[in-house]
Amino acid sequence: MADDPKNAPPALELRGIDKRFGAVHANRAIHLSIARGSVHGLIGENGAGKSTLMNSVYGFHRADAGEVWVAGRQVDIRTPQDAIAAGIGMVHQHFMLVENFTVLENVVLGVEGGPLLAGGLAHARGALEQLARNYGLEVPLDALISDLPVGLQQRVEILKALYRRAEILILDEPTAVLTPQEAEALFAMLRRLRAEGKSVILVTHKLREIMAITDRVTVMRQGAVVGEVATVMTSPRELAEKMVGRAVLLRVEKAPAHPGETLLSVRELEVRDRLGVARLKRVSFDVHAGEIVGIAGVSGNGQSELLEAIAGIAQPTHGSILLQGRDLVAGHVDARERRRLGLAHVPEDRLRMGVVTSFSAADNAILGYHDRAAYQRGPLLNHATIRRECEKKMANHDIRPPVPALRITAFSGGNQQKLVLAREIDCDPRVLLIGQPTRGVDIGAIEFIHKRLVALRDAGKALLLVSVELDEILGLADRILVLNGGEIVGEVARADATEEKLGLMMAGVKGEGHA
């Protein structure tokens, strides 16, 4: 500590890290230097290579080339064990906790301090109480992980790293699952760690967080570092441009909306999860023909439940959903029947829900529509028609390669998404639910998809758009509803919406809503 920090070697230095997965060059000769006692942002789009890089640093896989230096010494990291020994801790996006273990057991796992547990547990208890006092990291040590809220679980992950004497803490998309309040608490904690001389690497794709907490920021694109600056010297716009590689088209070209009749009407809709916790709390709104209604919000604030309830996948516990005046809840209309009534759905998580990965493109192009009369020939499926229809979709949506028999996983994310979109709009729905339309989609396809959505709006469809990308909401929506903690905390017309205003609402500050 007494050393002159200018001469002190960086806490972590990566020199020429290179990693390939088959044909994909995931990391290209990455150089990165993290100063001691700093928060360093690592930002980039999905697939830019951030996680690959951090997994190399943490020893999950071995880089093909490059060196890792910790506090001026080169270290050889082959396994997480090596990383831990070098003072590197990592908090993964999906927590690495044993759900039915206590906090204490989770913390000592791997550093039990001897073949018998009793001593190690007692030692850990003392040390954790000390850490809790030092950093404000109170956690009930004997509680089961499964009983803790997400924010506390994340705290356990941080405690795990600190208990292993981590000097460098890597956090991978730590706020994806947090409420704004929890995220703020996390940032406060990170500032404290920084003050204690720890170094933090914050991996994220959220510009707001970078601006809020980091000292320096490194931008990655397509596996390479494309820029590194002191945070105070840059702006979100500049960072975004670096991330995407060109001036970002924040606004999609579109004429003002001309909303028509109400096609979808949601009233007092409530959805509870398996534990009976309300994830969506009596939400009401309308979507009209010829408009795009955007749902903004931090991921996990009820968006998924909203989409799934309207689509007929999740059962609401209260309220009604009216499609052109017909109550789908009271009428017990199932997902299949809703499609028939003109309600299409592009799901948020394409690979989990939207496609069957082992099926061909043609087979995926009828998912949910497989019992349509057009696809039948007597009791049998008409494979010739199915292939022809798929070819047509591929031509209309510029899906490449245009080969219906090809397995869906052989297509890029963008082409998969275009196929899902084509499938959902092909049967001429009146209402279209769209979740994260451009997640894991390349830039070219994003523009195509955005234009197609605006065209649908102009054709008089009602679109309900859920996206965690604020830019996307701002670019596409005519009206924006903000979800926080399962409630609509405000509604803004696009013309009145700014990033700051929406950000406040997403954080739970009620808007001057006109419900």
Partner 1 sequence: METYTLIVLLLAATIRVATPLVLAALAGMFSERAGVIDLGLEGKMLGAAFAAGAVSAISGSAWLGLLAAIATAVFFALVIGYACITHRGNQVVAGMAITIMVVGLGPTLALAWFNLGGQTPQLDGPGQRFVGLAWPWAQSAREVPFPGLVYAELLSGHSLIVYFAAALVPLSAWVLYRTRFGLRLRAVGENPHAVDTAGISVNGLRYRAVIISGVLCGVAGASLSTAASSGFVRDMTAGKGYLALAALIFGKWKPWPTLGACLLFAFTDALAVRLQGVALPLVGVIPVQFILALPYVLTVLLLAGFVGKAVAPHAIGVPYAKEK
Partner 2 sequence: MSAPTKLPRWAELALLPLLNLGFALLLSGVIVRLLGESPWAALKLMVAGSVGTQEGIGYTLYYATNFIFTGLAVAVAYHAGLFNIGAEGQAYVGGLGVGLVALWLGDAPRFVVLPLAILAGAGFGAAWAFLPAWLQAKRGSHIVITTIMFNFIASALMTYLLVNVLIKPGQQSPETREFGAHAFMPAAHDLLARAGLTFAATPLNFAFVLALAAAVLVWIFVWHTRWGYALRVAGENAAAAVYAGIAPPRSIMGSMLLSGALAGSLGLNELLGSQHRILIDFTGGAGFVGIAVSLMGRNHPVGIIFSSVLFGALYQGGSQLSFDMPKINRDMVVVIQGLVILFCGAMENVFRAPLTAVFARFGRSKTGL
Residues in contact with partner 1 by the rule CB under 8 A: 58, 60-61, 79-84, 90, 92, 94, 96-101, 105-106, 108-112, 114-118, 120, 160
456/287 Cα distance (integer angstroms): 14
Q: Which of residues 326 and 370 has its CB atom nearest to partner 2 in the complex?
A: 370
- Per the omega criterion (within 30 degrees of 0), is the bond before 401 cis? yes
Residue 181, contacted partner among partner 2, partner 1, none, CB below 5-8 A by kind = none
Q: Which of residues 148 and 477 has its CB atom nearest to partner 1 in the complex?
A: 148
Check: CB of residue 150 under 8 Å from CB of residue 177.
yes
For partner 2, which stretch binds (CB under 8 A), given 30-38, 196-204, 348-356, 507-515?
348-356
In the three-class reduction of DSSP (H, G, I as helix; E, B as strand; rest coil), residue 262 is classed as: strand
**Contact between 336 and partner 2 per CB under 8 A:** yes
Q: Match 């979808």 to its residue by tokens.
A: 264
For partner 2, which stretch binds (CB under 8 A), given 200-208, 220-228, 310-318, 472-480?
310-318
In the three-class reduction of DSSP (H, G, I as helix; E, B as strand; rest coil), residue 270 is classed as: strand
Exactly one of 337, 388, 401, 444 binds partner 2 (CB under 8 A); which one? 337
Exactly one of 370, 388, 400, 451 binds partner 2 (CB under 8 A); which one? 370
Q: Which residues in 235-294 contact partner 2 (CB under 8 A)?
A: none
Output the CA–CA distances (angstroms, integers) from residue 310 to 313, 314, 344, 492, in the order listed.
8, 8, 10, 22
71/443 Cα distance (integer angstroms): 38
Please work out, in degrees rounded to the nearest 5, the angle formed at the alpha carbon of residue 278 by the alpha carbons of 145 and 504: 90
H/E stretch holding 382: none
Q: How far is the CB of 305 from partner 2 (least distance, A)?
A: 14
Residue 115, contacted partner among partner 1, partner 2, none, CB below 5-8 A by kind = partner 1
Say how many residues touch partner 2, by CB under 8 A: 38
Token digits of residue 495: 């013309």
Q: Which of residues 370 and 451 has its CB atom nearest to partner 2 in the complex?
A: 370
Please work out, in degrees rounded to the nearest 5, the angle formed at the alpha carbon of residue 302 by the alpha carbons of 441 and 275: 125
Closest listed residue to residue 69, CA positions, set 30, 13, 29: 13
Token digits of residue 39: 């928060």
**DSSP string for 20-81:** EETTEEEEEEEEEEE-TT-EEEEEE-TTSSHHHHHHHHTTSS--SEEEEEETTEEE---SHH
Exactly one of 50, 345, 418, 457 binds partner 2 (CB under 8 A); which one? 345
Residue 109, contacted partner among partner 1, partner 2, none, CB below 5-8 A by kind = partner 1
Q: How far is the CB of 61 from partner 2 (least distance, A)?
A: 9
Q: Which of residues 124 and 287 has its CB atom nearest to partner 1 in the complex?
A: 124
Exactly one of 353, 427, 443, 507 binds partner 2 (CB under 8 A); which one? 353
Q: Match 């109170």 to its residue by tokens.
A: 138
Residue 187, contacted partner among partner 1, partner 2, none, CB below 5-8 A by kind = none
Q: Which of residues 217 and 366 has its CB atom nearest to partner 2 in the complex?
A: 366
Q: Which of residues 52 and 360 has its CB atom nearest to partner 1 in the complex?
A: 52
Q: How far is the CB of 425 from partner 1 (least distance, A)?
A: 31
Strand 12-21 and strand 24-34: the pairing is antiparallel
H/E stretch holding 114: none
Q: Which residues in 18-37 contact partner 2 (CB under 8 A)?
A: 21-22, 24, 26
Q: Which of residues 115 and 379 has its CB atom nearest to partner 2 in the complex?
A: 379
Check: CB of residue 213 under 8 Å from CB of residue 190.
yes
**Contact between 170 and partner 2 per CB under 8 A:** no
H/E stretch holding 282: strand 278-288
What residue ranges bind partner 2 (CB under 8 A)? 21-22, 24, 26, 52, 311-313, 334-339, 345, 347, 352-359, 363, 366-368, 370-371, 375-376, 379-381, 383, 407, 409
